[in-house]
Structure 1
Amino acid sequence: MVPNHAARYSGKVHSDGFEFEAHADVYKGLMVTAAVSVQKVRDDSTEKPLIQSGKGNASLFAFYTVPSGSLKGFGFGGGMRYTAKAYGGEATYGSVWLPNYALFDGSIKYDLSNLSPSLHGWTASASVRNLFDKHFVSNCLAYASYGQAFCYYGERRNAQGSIGFSW
């Protein structure tokens, strides 16, 4: 006798939630960006959350560009990214949930045309993600039926610099 898995695994998913994002030029040269998402995603056949579906995210960033004076064109900013707990699946010992975490980022930017008109359109910038080098688990996949569970750490501190041109 072959079991009928079609009745048990329908492939249907139910999702509820919302997303909101706002960008505001708060004060002369100060830009603030905020975003939030909340979600509940579940597999209709098991009534459990969909694997790797989190409860939501939020972020808040501010960036200030000096509008005049000797530092005109220099900008700096930073912010925070928050990730709510997420479902990783079912292991032989029960449900696997990834804990929530918050990470901080920072950046600087300079409009090189303030050094010389011949550099019009050129910018130099640098950014650091996970500024405080927080160790966190970013992903888990657990499969009780296979007796396997895999978890992965998230990205460590990452610094990056660039020079760009826009026309």
Structure 2
Amino acid sequence: MTEHASPEHSAREHRAIEAAERAAAIMAGAGMPRMPARMMMALVAAPDDGYTAADLADRLGVSAAAISGAARYLQQVHFINRRTLPGERRERYFLIMASFYHSVAQNSPVYERSADELENIAKEMDEDAAARSRALEIASFFRFMAKRMPLLIQEWEAERG
């Protein structure tokens, strides 16, 4: 982080931090643990040389232990990596951009298994037409998602490239 930031840069950085916090809150609301979401969003706005654990702790106003736990989670889901830059001793954290896209596509088996179980629910609800219909509709939606996710990733990669 820059020690002698201009007031304009400082204001921009402050707005970026606020936006990152709002994005992290949305991700946490969708089920991602709060601290990993905050760390991931901070890394979205990181400089090209990434952030050290100390940079992240300072930026997020949290302890080194909080950064360590969040980093462990984000590494397990393959959203970040850490490496030492030439000439440095401290590790830096970086986002793995392709992981976002592929983690979404990897949910296809979850959608398929969920659809199977929803169809099992529907089979047990023969006498309750409304419940049966709900279960089958959600199962159909999950099968649609399972089929479309890999195609959407391919479309996104083609659009990007």
TM range (shorter): under 0.3
Greater Rg, structure 1 or structure 2?
1
Q: Whose strand proportion is higher, 1 or 2?
A: 1
TM-score where L is the length of structure 1: 0.20
Q: Whose helix proportion is higher, 1 or 2?
A: 2
TM-score where L is the length of structure 2: 0.21
